[in-house]
Each structure stands twice: as C-alpha cells, then as structure tokens.
Amino acid sequence: MTSALGSPGEAARALTIRDVARHAGVSISTVSRVMNGKRVRPELEQAVQQVLSDLNFRPSAVARSMVNGTTQTVGVLVEDISSAYYAELIKGIEGVLEKTGHHPLFKSSHWNVEFEEEALRVFLDHNVDAIIVVGGLLPEARLAALVGRLPLVIVGRSGLSRVSLSLGAALLTLDQRGGAALATRHLIELGHRQIVHLCGRPTQEDALARLQGYRDAMAAHGLEVRPEWVLEGDFLEVVAYRAMLGLVERKLPFTAVFAANDQMAFGANLALHRKGLRVPDDVSLIGFDDLPVSAYMVPPLTTVRQPAQQLGEAAARAAHDLMNHTSPVLAQLQLNLVLRESTRALRR
Amino acid sequence: MTSALGSPGEAARALTIRDVARHAGVSISTVSRVMNGKRVRPELEQAVQQVLSDLNFRPSAVARSMVNGTTQTVGVLVEDISSAYYAELIKGIEGVLEKTGHHPLFKSSHWNVEFEEEALRVFLDHNVDAIIVVGGLLPEARLAALVGRLPLVIVGRSGLSRVSLSLGAALLTLDQRGGAALATRHLIELGHRQIVHLCGRPTQEDALARLQGYRDAMAAHGLEVRPEWVLEGDFLEVVAYRAMLGLVERKLPFTAVFAANDQMAFGANLALHRKGLRVPDDVSLIGFDDLPVSAYMVPPLTTVRQPAQQLGEAAARAAHDLMNHTSPVLAQLQLNLVLRESTRALRR
DNA sequence: CGCGGGCGTGATAACGTTTTCTGCATGACC
DNA sequence: GGTCATGCAGAAAACGTTATCACGCCCGCG
C-alpha cells in the first residue's frame, strides 16, 4: 500500500483519463475502452485496471454527460419535499431510481407556479434525462411542450388528455374523488348524517376532487350538504384546528368529520379533544392519505390510504421505461379504506 | 411536410450558442460575452439579446460546468430524506440554497455506511461544489480526505476535531446530551423518580448521547437508573409502542417516560392509551425533536425542540460561505424545552 | 507468397461553453 | 503626423470524456 505518488497535501487537481493513460503506458482511447467494457488485449486491460484502482480513478460525470448527452439524472418536481405525503412519494421514487442508477434531482415548487417554471428551467438547463412532475399548476400546454424533448411522467393531474395521447409521456393518477366518496360513504353507513368536510387548499386539484367526492356520496344517499358543513382549509393542521374549534363554538350540530388529509385530521382531533368531545364516541373522524404517523394518533386514525410510496415507485419505473424507449406499464393503484379507531356507529 | 405532431424520432435538437451567433450575425464569443455581462458594443448587445429571447435560448449547464469547473450543485447526504426530522432539515437547506442559486442533490444513506460511501462517490463524480453530510457513520478519515477537495459541512457529528481544525470544513452540532438532560431534569423537577428512557437506534451517535444525557441528569439528582428502565429502540414508533406495552405488562412501576425522539413518543403514547394509562395524569411523557405534528398529538407533546430547519439553514449558509472562500460564521443553535401537555407534576 | 479481413490500438474530432489570444480599428499624446 | 495605448470582436484553445477514423498487425485463404 505505497500510495506515495503525489506530493503531500496541496490542491490535488482531479485526475483525468490522461493520467491513467500515462501511468499505464497506453492511449486514452484504451483507457476509455477498458472503463466501458469494450474489447481490449487482456494484458493491457489488466494493466489499465491496475492503474485505475491504484489511482482510485473516477471519470468525470460532467465530461461524460457532455459527450453522450445523458446525465443519469431525473428531475422531480413536488409541491414541498418536506411535507409528509410527498416525503413518502419521494421515498418510492428514490428507491427505484437508486436501482436503475439514476439520480433524482428534487425541487419544491411551494405551491407556486413561478417556482414550477423555474424548476423546469433548471431541469432542462441541467439536461436531466427525464422529468417527474407531481401535481402542481403548470398549464397543460407547458407540459405538452416538454413531451418529445424528454420523457415526462405526470403524477396526480387529471384531465390532461392531449399530453397522455402523445407517446413519451406517462400519466399516473389516483381516484381522489372516488376515495373521498369512500370515506364519506363509510361515515354514512355508520349512521352519520351530519357530516362536516374539512377542505384542502382550494388551489389544489386534489382538494377539489375530494370535496366533490364528499358531495357525491352525500347526494347518492339523498343527504343534503349544508353550507356550514364545508370548512375551508389548506391541508395544514393549524387551520383545521381553528376551523374545528370555531365550528364547535358555533354549536352547529354534527356527528362526523371527513378531513381532506390526515394532517387536518390531526388538527381536528386536537380541537375536539380540547372541546371535550371524544373521538369516536362523540364525533367520528376520518382522514385521507394514511401517513405513517396516523396509525399512532390517539385514537388511531381511520383514513383513506393513498399508496404514496408505491405511486412514487410506479412513477420512477415509468420514467425508466420511457428512457429505455419501452412503453411503460402503469400499475393500477387503488385507494382503500383503512379502518382504525376514530370512527364508530352513531348512537341512536 | 411537417405534421403537427412532429416527425417520429425527430427530437428537436437543443439550440447552442452557435445558433444564436448565426442568427445575430456575430461570433460565439460575442454571444457568450453578452450572456455573461461583459462589455460589448451596445447595438450588438441589443441584437444578441433580441435573438436570445426570440429563440428562448438557455445555455447548457453541463457545458458550462465542463469549462469553469463548477456545477452550482451541493451534495446533501442524510440518513433518510423522507424521515420527518430530516425533512425539516432539508427544508432549511433547500430554502437558503434556493436563494444562493445552488441546487441541492439529496441522497439517503439508509443508515448504511455503504450507501454513504456510494453517495460520496456520486457527489464527487458529479463534481458538486460542496458537500453537506448530516450524521452518519463515515469514519473521520474518510471525511478528512474530502477536506481540501471541496467545501465540507458536517452536521451532527461530535468528536471530529481534526477535520474541524483544517480550514475548509465546517462543523455544526447541537448538544444532544445536554438536551436529553434537560428533558430528564424537567421530569425530575416535576417530582418523578421512576423515569423510563426509550432509546434511539444504538448505531446512531445521537441516540447514545441522549441516553447519556438521561443518565447524567439522573445521576446529578442522585437517582439510580434501574436497568429495566432503559428500553432498546430504533427511533421508530412501532418499536417504542411494543416496548411500552411490554413494560406495562410486566407491571414495573414507573411514572414518566423520556422518549429519544418524538416518533417514539407517539408510539409510547398510543401504548399507554391502550393500556388505560392516561397521559399526563398517570404517566408523564416527553419527547425529543419537536416535529411539526407533535403539537397536535393528544395530548400535545412536551418535548425538546431541535431547531432542525434552522440547522439546515445554517449548514447551507456555511457551505455557501465556504464556497466563497469566506470563513463561515456558525450560528450557535440551542436545544430548548417546549412545555405542552404531556407532562405534569407527580401526584404525591 | 500475396492479399483481404478482422481486430486492436492510437490519433483525432466531436460535445457546448468560457477564456485567452490575436488583430484591427480608433483615439490620444508628443 | 507618427507611435503607442486602448477597446472590442473574432479565432482558437481549453475542459474530460466517447466515438470515429485510420493504420498496422496477424491470420487464413487462395
């Protein structure tokens, strides 16, 4: 182990393929060929490999990208990396991309279309090999313009027919509206009639779909939705908390709450607790998402499970397929009810 | 014959600076100069700017990196992107890097030193301008080898004196041991004597430090730590949940629990609830981290706040300073107790 | 024995920028 | 009015790889 080739301790300029070639007494072409597994005379191959490992040489990914036009990078755009739901989705994406040798480049758009545009620019500038867009507000035309330039996977946007038609894009959605109806129906079947809905951020497509699903289920059972039952929200705990406090204080009668996501359910749960209302004895509470923590809420939260991680995995796989020019097989993912302890039959 | 959908396989080759030069009737040098704000005759500048915006031209970041050796990228290595605590930290990093025009490249090491090594390799291969390492198990020598090659920021690793000594690296830590002592002392001051500690993952430096802090505080008050009070864990809810169930079933007396992180506190909270023990009336419970959800636990969780987001911000700022060759000013961040409703004075 | 065809190797041209160098004006100063 | 500085544009050299091309060698076959 005598690694005494460099003088000790100064601005160690990074090695290049030339250095390897010089040490091995071959041309740079040969070094390149060895690294890429092309045919080379065995003894030369051996020599080069030796130098490669002696010098601990690693070729510059930038230079590689320059010549073969691919970066092994995938741009991933979500609303907020650190939000619990997206974190799960990201975990899925990360997991499969790790295996395919691609590197995700995550960007948060912060629910702001300007940031989304900017992220797209950055992705394009950096020549990512594919883009995964999760939700967001980008107009269809903007997305369509991407198709053909590079593989595009769109997650959680409905009504983007044109884009999906052109090959080179994949569309993944979950039936948010149906899931919301599922949740609401569950409450109805438990005997609840006065069901409050805590809405998500109104600029989010998902929030609207869930509100609609709630209305669907109510209508399907001939139940009126009183305006004071639909409470504005934004997917965050604090707003749900305040809204729920307000509702109780106004003494409006209700027996169940459907929150547009689990985070809001947490807020509602605490508010109800503060007001001395027991969940589920006095009020049934159902959420949406099934975050990892939701199972540990007190009481454990009944909710509609979104397979976020699997969705991320499917998105990454689709991106991978698209990059390989094979048409992606899109797993058909389902929302389903997970029954825990925050809902119960209405006492008559 | 140009069809509306474009010819198949005819992916619009990206524009280059040459195209701009040709359209503007100037040399590529001039285009480059205009883009970089160097002096150019006004009418030429005007013409080039016009073409630039007409063509909506964006220079290739890869080619740029190639020549000026910088990528505007920062490698960020954490245990798990999607874990709640790291998510917050990442949010901080992302926030300030967004402003400095750098792009974070996040990698999860999954508590596996092999993955850590791999991530480092990827960062180096891609020629990131700086690296931020959060926790992890990389040996000091490995980290030291990085110093000098590029700016390095290490978060949450204590006892890395040599590295910190050499300029070009920044070290950020929080006093985990002190924080744990803070939590434990709080319980002691409330009159508790039989205090259980739910340990974090034993391979994690932080977990050990917190255990030590717990012992410190107990010892400082002349309290014995009975072996059956320190419960093995791994920072996850489920293990804490099971451990707590087991403890109660064994009918060992205790009046308070200090969980090594909030997630474990959630698990413990549910277990206690299941066993009919009320928090805080029967058992006081304190966590560590102060995750965003913790304020919405029922009851709201008393915990030791880690300023994760600010820590991330500080790390990113340090990286930025290091890249600018200015010595980083390291904000001195503190852990502090946030009193909520999961602890109360022991009834005598 | 000559010649064509693999095969393996080195030289070299890309890739798309920025930077350096060169050249040509123009203006200033003696 | 000549010489020198100065300003600005274009040509060309870099950056570190991979792909293409051309060449030399050995082998087999006629």
Considering only CA atoms, which residue is closest to the C1' of nucleotide C8?
A: A40
- State pLDDT tens for residues A248-293: 999 999 999 999 999 999 999 999 999 999 999 999 999 999 999 9
In the block, which residue shows the tokens 């030291």? B144
Of the candidate ranges A161-175, A324-338, B12-26, B145-159, the one whose mean pLDDT is the lowest: A161-175
Identify from A82, A93, A273, A278 which residue to disrupt to test chain B contact, counting B C-beta atoms within 10 A and taking the largest count. A82
In the block, which residue shows the tokens 């994406």? A93
Higher pLDDT, B65 or B166: B65
- Determine the Cα–Cα distance for residues B81 and B158; give it in Å rounded to an integer: 22
Flag if A103 and B124 touch (Cβ within 8 Å). no
- Determine the Cα–Cα distance for residues B297 and B269; give it in Å rounded to an integer: 9
C-alpha distances in Å from residue A301, one per residue of A241, A258, B241: 16, 11, 16
Considering only CA atoms, which residue is closest to the C1' of nucleotide D10?
A: B27
pLDDT score of B163? 67
pLDDT score of B7? 39
Higher pLDDT, B313 or B346: B313
Radius of gyration in angstroms for the set of CA atoms belonging to chain A, rounded to a whole number: 27
| pLDDT over 70 percentage in chain A | 95
Q: Report yes or no: B275 and B245 within 8 Å, Cβ to Cβ.
A: yes
Is A103 an 8 Å CB contact of chain B? yes
C-alpha distances in Å from residue A201, one per residue of A159, A204, A226, B71: 19, 6, 20, 36
Q: Report yes or no: A218 and A184 within 8 Å, Cβ to Cβ.
A: yes
pLDDT score of B347? 76
- Average pLDDT in the A176-193 region? 98
pLDDT score of B332? 87
- Determine the Cα–Cα distance for residues B264 and B246; give it in Å rounded to an integer: 15
pLDDT score of B142? 93
> Is residue B187 predicted with pLDDT exceeding 70?
yes
> Is residue B8 predicted with pLDDT exceeding 60?
no
Total length of chain B: 348
> Is residue B13 predicted with pLDDT exceeding 80?
no
pLDDT score of A10? 44
- Determine the Cα–Cα distance for residues B89 and B83; give it in Å rounded to an integer: 10
Give the closest nucleotide to B29 (alpha carbon vs C1'). D10
- From chain A, the residues in CB contact with B71 under 8 A are 62
> Is residue B340 predicted with pLDDT exceeding 60?
yes
Burial class of residue B197 (count of CB atoms within 10 Å of its CB; 0-12, 13-18, 19+): buried
pLDDT score of B6? 37
How near does any CA of chain A get to the CA of B224, in Å? 31
**What's B301's DSSP letter?**
P
- State pLDDT tens for residues A21-45: 999 999 999 999 999 999 999 999 9
Please list the helix, strand and coil fractions of chain B in percent, rounded to the nearest 5, in that order.
Answer: 45, 15, 40
Is A5 an 8 Å CB contact of chain B? no
User: Helix, strand, or coil here: B78?
Assistant: strand
Q: Report yes or no: A232 and A259 within 8 Å, Cβ to Cβ.
A: no
In the block, which residue shows the tokens 């063509």? B55
> Is residue A11 predicted with pLDDT exceeding 60?
no
In the block, which residue shows the tokens 């109805």? A188
- Of A264, A210, A211, which Cα lies nearest the Cα of A241? A264
Q: Specify which residues A304 forms β-bridges with.
A: A288, A337
pLDDT score of B71? 97
- Determine the Cα–Cα distance for residues B220 and A257; give it in Å rounded to an integer: 48
How do strand A336-338 and strand A302-305 relate by DSSP bridges? antiparallel
How do strand A103-108 and strand B169-172 relate by DSSP bridges? unpaired
Q: How confident is the model at residue B165 (pLDDT cuts 50, 70, 90)?
A: low
- Of B112, B120, B158, B159, which Cα lies nearest the Cα of B136? B112
- Determine the Cα–Cα distance for residues A83 and A201; give it in Å rounded to an integer: 14
Backbone angles phi, psi at B157, to 5 degrees: -120, 125
- Average pLDDT in the A196-203 region? 97
| pLDDT over 90 percentage in chain B | 89
- State pLDDT tens for residues A57-91: 999 999 999 999 999 999 999 999 999 999 999 99
Instruction: Return all residues near B246 (Cβ < 8 A) that are at least 6 apart.
Output: none
Of the candidate ranges A229-238, B9-18, B78-87, B318-327, the one whose mean pLDDT is the lowest: B9-18
Q: How confident is the model at residue A12 (pLDDT cuts 50, 70, 90)?
A: low
Please tell me which of the candidates A59, A84, A126 has its beta carbon nearest to residue B62: A126
- State pLDDT tens for residues B14-58: 899 999 999 999 999 999 999 999 989 999 999 999 999 999 999
Going along chain B from its start, the domains and CATH numbers come out as 8-67 (1.10.260.40), 71-174+308-334 (3.40.50.2300), 176-305 (3.40.50.2300)
pLDDT score of A181? 98
Q: Report yes or no: B283 and B256 within 8 Å, Cβ to Cβ.
A: yes
Considering only CA atoms, which residue is closest to the C1' of nucleotide D8?
A: B40
Q: Which nucleotides of C are covered by protein (CB under 7 A)?
A: 7-12, 14-20
pLDDT score of B9? 41
How near does any CA of chain A get to the CA of B328, in Å? 20
> Is residue B121 predicted with pLDDT exceeding 50?
yes
- Of A282, A206, A272, A276, which Cα lies nearest the Cα of A240? A272
Specify the DSSP element, H or E, that contains B62: helix B61-68
> Is residue B315 predicted with pLDDT exceeding 50?
yes
- Average pLDDT in the B109-136 region? 97
Backbone angles phi, psi at B333, to 5 degrees: -95, 145
- Determine the Cα–Cα distance for residues B288 and A63; give it in Å rounded to an integer: 45
Q: Report yes or no: A248 and A285 within 8 Å, Cβ to Cβ.
A: no
Give me the half-sphere count of Cα atoms (radius 13 Å) on the Cβ side of residue B135.
Answer: 26
> Is residue A146 predicted with pLDDT exceeding 90?
yes
Q: Report yes or no: A269 and B296 within 8 Å, Cβ to Cβ.
A: yes
Q: Specify which residues A104 forms β-bridges with.
A: A74
| pLDDT over 90 percentage in chain A | 89
Q: Report yes or no: A288 and A263 within 8 Å, Cβ to Cβ.
A: no
CB pairs under 8 A between A and B: 126
- Average pLDDT in the B266-295 region? 97
pLDDT score of A164? 66
Is B269 an 8 Å CB contact of chain A? yes
Q: How many CB atoms are closer than 10 A to CB A275?
A: 14
Residue B32 Cβ < 7 Å to strand C: yes
Specify the DSSP element, H or E, that contains B99: helix B84-100
Q: Report yes or no: A233 and A267 within 8 Å, Cβ to Cβ.
A: no
Flag if A103 and B87 touch (Cβ within 8 Å). no
pLDDT score of B4? 37
Higher pLDDT, A227 or A331: A227
Is B270 an 8 Å CB contact of chain A? yes
- Average pLDDT in the A143-169 region? 85
Provide the phi-psi class of B156: left if phi over 0, else alpha when psi is between -120 and 50, else beta.
left
SS3 annotation, chain A: CCCCCCCCCCCCCCCCHHHHHHHHCCCHHHHHHHHCCCCCCHHHHHHHHHHHHHCCCCCCHHHHHHHHCCCCEEEEEECCCCCHHHHHHHHHHHHHHHHHCCEEEEEECCCCHHHHHHHHHHHHHCCCCEEEEECCCCCHHHHHHHCCCCCEEEECCCCCHHHHHCCCEEEECCCHHHHHHHHHHHHHHCCCCCEEEECCCCCCHHHHHHHHHHHHHHHHCCCCCCHHHEECCCCCHHHHHHHHHHHHHCCCCCCEEEECCHHHHHHHHHHHHHCCCCCCCCCEEEEEECCHHHHHCCCCCEEEECCHHHHHHHHHHHHHHHHCCCCCCCCCCCCEEECCCCCCCCCC
Of the candidate ranges A131-135, A222-226, A327-331, B40-44, the one whose mean pLDDT is the lowest: A327-331
pTM of the model: 0.94
- The overall average pLDDT reported for chain A is 93
- State pLDDT tens for residues B229-243: 999 999 999 999 999
> Is residue A348 predicted with pLDDT exceeding 80?
no
Widest CA span of chain A, in angstroms? 90
Instruction: Return all residues near B173 (Cβ < 8 A) that are at least 6 apart.
Output: B155, B156, B157, B158
- Determine the Cα–Cα distance for residues B264 and B260; give it in Å rounded to an integer: 7
Residue A66 Cβ < 7 Å to strand C: yes
